[in-house]
C-alpha cells in the first residue's frame, strides 16, 4: 500500500517548480485492465484552473524522474507495478483543499462522509463554503449541514449549467490551426 501523504509531500515541490498547484494524489485501480494500480496526480495552473497537455507532460516527466531517483536510492514509494496518470481536475473537479471549498461556494457539490454523520453519509446540494475546518452545504434533504473537513471521504462539484457558465474557458491555443488544417483536407 502506498503512503499517499508521503507521495503528495514529494510531488508537491515538483508541481510547484512548474508553477502548478497540486489538487490530488490518489492510488486507484488501473484502467488498463491489467489488475495493476495507477498513481493519479491532478494539478492545475492557478492562473487558468486547468492543465494543458504540455503541462501534464512536464509534470509527468518531473515526477517520474524524482520517483526513479528515490527508488534507485532504495526508497520504495509504491509496491509493485503502477501507471502514472497526470491530469487536470476537470470541470466537475474534486474538492480536496480548503481553498476549493471556499472558491466553489455557491455551486452544487456532492460530499461523501467517511462514516455516517448525523444519520447521513452522502450530502448533495449547494456548497456554502468553509469556515475554519468546517464545511457547510445546503443538503437537499437535511438543509444546512456543517461537517468537519477531516470526516469527508470525497467531495466533488456536480456538473450543472451554472458551473459550466462560471468555469474559465478552456485554453484553445492551437485550435484555430487544427480547424484550418481540417478544412484544407
Domains of the chain: 4-87 (3.30.300.70), 98-166 (2.30.30.180)
User: pTM of this prediction?
Assistant: 0.81
Q: How do residues 104-138 score in pLDDT, each as one tens digit?
A: 999 999 999 998 777 789 999 999 999 999 999 99
Handedness of CA 92, 95, 97, 101 (dihedral sign): positive
Sheet containing strand 82-87, strands side by side: 21-29, 37-44, 82-87
Q: How do residues 15-25 score in pLDDT, each as one tens digit?
A: 999 999 999 99
Q: How do residues 37-66 score in pLDDT, each as one tens digit?
A: 999 999 999 988 889 999 999 999 999 999
Distance of CA 112 to the CA centre of its chain: 16
Q: Which residues of 26-56 are buried (b: 16+ CB within 10 A; e: fewer)?
A: bbeebeeeeeebbbbbbbbbeeebbbeeebb
The mean pLDDT value of the chain amounts to 89
Q: What pLDDT is attached to residue 169?
A: 59
Q: What pLDDT is attached to residue 119?
A: 78
Amino acid at each position: 500500500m502506498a503512503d499517499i501523504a508521503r507521495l503528495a509531500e514529494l510531488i508537491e515541490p515538483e508541481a510547484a517548480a512548474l508553477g502548478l498547484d497540486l489538487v490530488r494524489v490518489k492510488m486507484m485501480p488501473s484502467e488498463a485492465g491489467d489488475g495493476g494500480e495507477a498513481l493519479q496526480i491532478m494539478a492545475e495552473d492557478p492562473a487558468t484552473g486547468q492543465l494543458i497537455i504540455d503541462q501534464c507532460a512536464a509534470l509527468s516527466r518531473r515526477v517520474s524522474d524524482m520517483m526513479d531517483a528515490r527508488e534507485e536510492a532504495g526508497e520504495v514509494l509504491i509496491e509493485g507495478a503502477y501507471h502514472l496518470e497526470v491530469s487536470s481536475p476537470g470541470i466537475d473537479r474534486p474538492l480536496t483543499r480548503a481553498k476549493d471549498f471556499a472558491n466553489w461556494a455557491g455551486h452544487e457539490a456532492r460530499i461523501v462522509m467517511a462514516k455516517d454523520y448525523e444519520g447521513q453519509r452522502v450530502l448533495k446540494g449547494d456548497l456554502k463554503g468553509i469556515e475554519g475546518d468546517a464545511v457547510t452545504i445546503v443538503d437537499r434533504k437535511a438543509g444546512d449541514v456543517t461537517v468537519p473537513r477531516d470526516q469527508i471521504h470525497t467531495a466533488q462539484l456536480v456538473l450543472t449549467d451554472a458551473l459550466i457558465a462560471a468555469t474559465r474557458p478552456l485554453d484553445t491555443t492551437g485550435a484555430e490551426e487544427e480547424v484550418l488544417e481540417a478544412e484544407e483536407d
